[in-house]
Amino acid sequence: MSAFPRAIDGEPRRPGVLRLGRRSFDVHQRLVMAIVNRTPDSFFDRGATWDEDAAMERVHTVMKEGADIIDIGGVPAAPGAEVDVVEEIRRTVPFVAAVRDAYPDVVISVDTWRHEVAREVCAVGADLLNDSWGGCDDRLAEVAAEFDAALLCAHAGGLPPRTRPFRVAYEDVMADVLDRTLTLARRAVAAGVDPSRIIIDPAHDFGKNTWHSLEITRRLDEMVATNWPVLVSLSNKDFVGETLDVPIDERLPGTLATTAVCAWLGARVFRAHHVRQTRQALDMVSAIRQEKMPARTVRGLA
């Protein structure tokens, strides 16, 4: 097991409440982050929520299905047509404002690596900056601190945004994940981000091959042991598809199996396309761990 410091300032970190927007979540709450893509070319939904009305209908649906967080993205992760700052703002800011008006208390996340976009979305109500490209813009943490927003610190293996890994290698992938994410967390705290608003993410597939993603899943307890809240983004990822040799539209069973493993090992936030199924998988894990009561228990009692 890798040995990396669990502290920001030399003192061991204790697991604690995660604060997102107006809400606070304890260590036993497992949160579903629903994906809402404001792009015409996202890898899974192929632009299903590109139209704003369709995107808002998606928000209504996932809220009914048990989403705790709405994650809005204006730029696909995969290489493709250039989306500049102005266009990313156009795709995200008005929609963030509309979701905030419709759901005043929901946690709103925006998937961006750009501080210019971060500033605009926070100004209209975003609570969490989902920096899935691992701190490539040093000013993102400054914006999070300015608006008292939460910040996701992810491991992308040092790759620039929207690039795929090519023959990537690590002496110890989890050691690298811990080194980079804990460094980002330290920088965020130094920039003024509230430690209770920081999340770390191993970032499956990002800067990794399938073997790497399987290993970080198997060793996720090492990230959890840092006592920073851990998010996993597993939904329909390529490592699931390659492991099972299935196309994108047949990856839900593999996604849910990986979700259950990560939940058992202590992950707290789960970014997902399939909210209802993810919510049920997490609730089942919580019940097995005696952290949540079954919805009903009549078998053998009546």
Annotated catalytic sites, by residue?
Answer: 237, 271
Residues 63 and 99: their CA atoms lie apart, in Å, by 11
* Single-letter amino acid, residue 213: S
Tokens 């501080």 found at: 115
Residues 94 and 73: their CA atoms lie apart, in Å, by 12
Are the C-beta atoms of residues 248 and 236 closer than 8 Å to each other?
A: yes
Residues 168 and 262: their CA atoms lie apart, in Å, by 24
3-state secondary structure the chain: CCCCCCCCCCCCCCCCCEEECCEEECCCCCEEEEEEECCCCCCCCCCCCCCHHHHHHHHHHHHHCCCCEEEEECCCCCCCCCCCHHHHHHHHHHHHHHHHHHCCCCEEEEECCCHHHHHHHHHCCCCEEEECCCCCCCCHHHHHHHHCCEEEEECCCCCCCCCCCCCCCCCCHHHHHHHHHHHHHHHHHHHCCCHHHEEEECCCCCCCCHHHHHHHHHCHHHHHCCCCCEEEECCCCHHHHHHHCCCHHHCHHHHHHHHHHHHHHCCCEEEECCHHHHHHHHHHHHHHCCCCCCCCCCCCCC
